Copies of this chain bind each other. A is one copy, B any other.
Amino acid sequence: MIAEFQAYCRTLTLLSDEEIERITAFAVPRTLPRGEHLLQQGQVCRHKTFIIKGLLRNYGTAADGTEYILQFSSAHQWILDPESYHLQSASKFKIAAIERTDVLQWPKAEFDTLLNEMPALNTYSQQLVSRINYTGRQRLFTTLSGTPEEKYDDFVINNPDLLSRVPLHMIAAYLGMSLKTLTRIRHAQLHR
């Protein structure tokens, strides 16, 4: 796991080999079986987590018990509950493994130390947060404006790798529609 993370850092950041060594020295590997929670609602998100392999969903439950998925995260993505992590407050949302998932984790105090020490890590971290911001705005706009058909098409175009890995009811929970509606759309597309 460590070697894969180091290769990622060498390719996608301006961190030096010494800095990458120091960052990985703090990393704690963990494997989540399918279905296990990385974060439960009400828990405090105490780690920054980098996914080596696998697939997680970040989701919440509405008052009527229905689940809605904010985000799918797979290999070479970071995942955390930003509000709970930054404020060290109870999380409103949950994170769980859809597949068996290998991650590296950094406790917040250690990661904050690394951020203070390394301007290149700080820059990289800010770029990631900005990118999350853009994609979040685009997702909000699609959610507000799209017809169910447009939302599904958009999902297929932007997440071709997830189609075969995510159960249909979770795709429906991500798109904010019922499984029945999603099944109808897919059926209509097959007969186009």
Contact = CB atoms under 8 A, between A and B. Distances in A.
B145 A176 contact: yes
Contacts of A32: none
A125 to B, nearest CB: 9
B70 A140 contact: yes
A140 B139 contact: yes
Given A86-B130, A129-B133, A143 B146 contact: no
Nearest to A129: B129
A157 to B, nearest CB: 14
A63 B146 CA distance: 9
Contacts of A62: 145-146
In this complex, the interface size class of chain A, counting residues with CB under 8 Å from chain B, is: 20 to 34
B130 A82 contact: yes
Contacts of A137: 70, 82-83, 93, 136
A141 B60 contact: yes
Interface in A69-126: 70, 82-83, 86, 92-93, 126
A108 to B, nearest CB: 13
Contact of A126 (B126, B138, B143): B126
A68 interface: yes
A68 to B, nearest CB: 4
A132 interface: yes
A137 B80 CA distance: 12
A63 B140 CA distance: 15
A66 B130 contact: no
A12 interface: no
Interface string A45-67: 00000000000000010110010
Interface in A6-32: none
A82 B134 contact: yes
A144 interface: yes
